[in-house]
C-alpha cells in the first residue's frame, strides 16, 4: 500500500509527521529513538521541516540517535556526503547531543569505513547482536536501488554482515559507498520509503507489483522480519500505480 500525496511538499509534511510520531512512540516504549537517515534529494524537504516548528519542538531530540542507511565515501564536509546533507539541513539546528550522531566515516577507505561503522553499530546495539532500528529511512532509485543496494549486486544483497562496501555509478554521484544490507534493514521496527518524481514511476510500479526479483529491483529485498514498511510517494512517482 502506497500513501500518495499531491506534491513533494505535502509528501515531506507527511514524512515529518510520521518521523515525529515514530520517535515519540519509540521513546515512550523503550527510552530511545534509533533512526537511520538516507541520502538523495527526496528527504531534503523532510529534513528542512524537522529543523523548525512545529516538528522540531515535538521531537525527543535528547533521546534520538542517528545513523545513515548508506554513505558515499567522501569527506564529511563534501556536498555529496549524506552526513553533510542531513547535518546542514537538520541536525545542526536542533538540540540533539553530538554524541548521538553516528556518521559513517566517508573519508576512510572502504574496508576501514565498514569496520568503523560496524563498531558504532555494535555500540548502539546495547548487547544485542546488531541494533534493531526504530526507523530506517530509504529512498528508491529509478533503477530500483535502495540505500546503496544496486541492481545486480548479489554480494551486497545477500551479505551475512550488516554493512558492506559497494561501488556503483548512479546519476554522476560518488560511486564508492558503504551501505546497510538487508540483514540489518530487515531487523527494523519501521522502514519508511520516500519516493518523489516522475522518473521513479516505473521503478515504484515494478516494486509494488512485485514483478521482478530483488537482484533486479533491490528495494524488493526490504521485507522486515517483524516490522512495518511505510511507502509514501508523490503523485508524479505514483503515476503508474
- Written as nine digits, the cell of 91 is 541536525
Q: Distance (Å, rounded) from C-alpha 163 to C-alpha 122?
A: 11
Provide the mask over 5-44, with x wherever binding to ligand 6PG is found by CB under 6 A and - wherever it is not.
Answer: ---------------------------------xxxxx--
Provide the mask over 146-185, with x wherever binding to ligand 6PG is found by CB under 6 A and - wherever it is not.
Answer: xx-------------------------x------------
Is 118:83 a contact under the CB 8 Å cutoff? no
Nearer to ligand 6PG, 139 or 214 (CB): 139
Residue 142 CB, shortest distance to ligand 6PG, in Å, is 7
Nearest to 157 by CA among 170, 169, 148: 148
Residue with the CB atom nearest ligand 6PG in the bound state: 139
Nearer to ligand 6PG, 145 or 230 (CB): 145
Tell me: does residue 81 bind ligand 6PG (CB under 6 A): no
Grid cell 554513505 in the structure block, residue: 71
Tell me: does residue 82 bind ligand 6PG (CB under 6 A): yes
Q: Distance (Å, rounded) from C-alpha 166 to C-alpha 152?
A: 11
Nearer to ligand 6PG, 32 or 68 (CB): 68
Residue 127 CB, shortest distance to ligand 6PG, in Å, is 29
Q: Which range in 26-34, 142-150, 158-166, 233-241 contacts ligand 6PG by CB under 6 A?
A: 142-150
Nearer to ligand 6PG, 32 or 137 (CB): 137
Nearer to ligand 6PG, 82 or 100 (CB): 82
Rg over alpha carbons for the chain, rounded to the nearest Å, is 16
Q: Distance (Å, rounded) from C-alpha 11 to C-alpha 29?
A: 27
CA angle (91, 51, 139) in 5-degree steps: 75
Residue partners of 154: CB distance under 8 A and separation at least 6 = 215
Could you give the C-alpha distances from 214 to 33, 174, 182, 199, 241, in angstroms and in order? Answer: 29, 23, 10, 20, 19
Chain-centre distance for alpha carbon 143 = 17
Nearer to ligand 6PG, 100 or 146 (CB): 146
Q: Distance (Å, rounded) from C-alpha 180 to C-alpha 195?
A: 19
Instruction: Return residues touching ligand 6PG (CB under 6 A).
Output: 38-42, 70, 72, 82, 139, 141, 145-147, 173
Amino acid at each position: 500500500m502506497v500513501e500518495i500525496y499531491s506534491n513533494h511538499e505535502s509528501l515531506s509534511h507527511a514524512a515529518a509527521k510520521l518521523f515525529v510520531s515514530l520517535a515519540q512512540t519509540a521513546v515512550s516504549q523503550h527510552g530511545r529513538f534509533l533512526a537511520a537517515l538516507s541520502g538523495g534529494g527526496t528527504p531534503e524537504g523532510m529534513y528542512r521541516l524537522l529543523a523548525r516548528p512545529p516538528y522540531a519542538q515535538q521531537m525527543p531530540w535528547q533521546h534520538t540517535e542517528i545513523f545513515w542507511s548508506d554513505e558515499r565515501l567522501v569527506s564529511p564536509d563534501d556536498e555529496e556526503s549524506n552526513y553533510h546533507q542531513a547535518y546542514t539541513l537538520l541536525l545542526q539546528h536542533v538540540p540533539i547531543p553530538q554524541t548521538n550522531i553516528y556518521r559513517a566515516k566517508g573519508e576512510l577507505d572502504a574496508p576501514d569505513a565498514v569496520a568503523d561503522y560496524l563498531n558504532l553499530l555494535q555500540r548502539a546495539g546495547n548487547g544485542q547482536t546488531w541494533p534493531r532500528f526504530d526507523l530506517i529511512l530509504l529512498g528508491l532509485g529509478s533503477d530500483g536501488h535502495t540505500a546503496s543496494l544496486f541492481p545486480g549486486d548479489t554480494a551486497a544483497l545477500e551479505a551475512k554482515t550488516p554493512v558492506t562496501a559497494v561501488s556503483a555509478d548512479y546519476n554522476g554521484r560518488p560511486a564508492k559507498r558503504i551501505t546497510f544490507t538487508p540483514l540489518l534493514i530487515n531487523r527494523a521496527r519501521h522502514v519508511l520509503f520516500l519516493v518523489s518524481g516522475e522518473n521513479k514511476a516505473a521503478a515504484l510500479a515494478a516494486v509494488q507489483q512485485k514483478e521482478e526479483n530483488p537482484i533486479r529491483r533491490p528495494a524488493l529485498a526490504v521485507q522486515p522480519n517483524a516490522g512495518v514498511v511505510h511507502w509514501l510517494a508523490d503523485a508524479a512517482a505514483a503515476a503508474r500505480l
